[in-house]
Structure formats: structure tokens, C-alpha cells
Amino acid sequence: MENLFNNLDLKEVNRLNAGCCVEHLAITITEAEDNYLVATMPVDERTRQPFGVLHGGASCVLAESVGSIASNIILDSSKYYAVGLEINANHVRPVQSGIVKAKATSVHIGKSTHIWDIRITDERDKLVCISRLTMAIIRK
């Protein structure tokens, strides 16, 4: 598969996410290779539910963020932008603290939709959540 993220400046990508939900939850893009993008997010008071474990909604925000960022990076931003069309998530294991990592891998990159497989893992590389995200490609 081709490298979708050729010559990507991760600092610039993270700078573009300032002042939005991604920044509020301290989601950071950390790696871009071939057909995948990686982001991390802390498990802390911003992302835990009342029982002290990672909130499923925070996992969905992480998954949708990394997939959405990935889609928007590979589009010609002068002509198109991508928005979430559908997301699903299976929450496999609880996490109480630390950092979780989301790896979004392309499944389908089409003219009108992109589909991403997103695996969220804990610091021991154990699966926490598996998600599939479909992005709609919108002409400006």
C-alpha cells in the first residue's frame, strides 16, 4: 500500500488541533507511517467515567479524532474535507490510568468515503477498544 502520510509534520498537525476537543482531552498525534496514523490520550479525570475507568465515549472521541485527522490529512484541503459518517466501538478491557494509544489503519480510501480500522491499546499493548470509522468526503 502507498504511503498516505508522506512527509507529514506531526507538530503542525497537533498545532492545528489547538482549541478543540482534541486538545481538551490531550489527544496527540505521535506517529504516521504508510497507511496508518497513531494518537495517544491520557486516562485521567478528563477521560474517566465515575467508576474510575476509561469512559467509552472518550475512546470513541479518540477513535474518531485519529481517523478524522487521517482522512483530512490525505485530502486536497482546497477542494474537500472529511466528516464522520458512522462509528462503532467494542470496549474490550477497562483502563484505570496511564496512556492509551489509537492506531488508525486505512481499510478503504475512496472518492466519497474513507473507512478506518482503529485499535486502542493500553501501555502493555493490550486491546482496550476496537472501532471502525466511516468518513464522508465532502466537496467544498
pLDDT tens sequence across 96-128: 999 999 999 999 999 999 999 999 999 999 999
Domains defined for the chain, CATH in brackets: 10-139 (3.10.129.10)
Neighbours of 26 (CB within 10 A): 13
For residue 100, give the nearest of 71, 73, 130 by alpha carbon. Answer: 130
Buried b / exposed e along 44-83 (16+ C-beta atoms within 10 A): eeebbeeeebbbeebbbbbbbbbbbbbbbbbbeeeebbbe
Q: Is the per-residue pLDDT at 32 higher than 80? A: yes
Residue 35's pLDDT is 87
pLDDT of residue 118: 98
Question: What's the pTM?
Answer: 0.95
Tell which residue, 77, 79, 66, has the closest CA to residue 135.
66
- The DSSP code for 92 is -
Average pLDDT taken over every residue of the chain: 95
Q: Give catalytic residues, as residue numbers.
A: 64
* Residue 74 predicted with pLDDT over 60: yes
> Strands, E, within the chain: which ranges?
28-33, 36-43, 80-91, 98-109, 113-121, 127-139
CA dist 22 and 108 (Å) reads 24
Residue 75: DSSP 8-state: S
pLDDT band at 2 (very low <50, low <70, confident <90, very high): low
Judge whether 133 and 115 are in contact, CB under 8 Å: yes
pLDDT at 131 over 80: yes
* Contact criterion met (CB below 8 Å) for 89 and 131: yes
* pLDDT for 6: 76
41-61: per-residue pLDDT in tens?
999 999 999 999 999 999 999
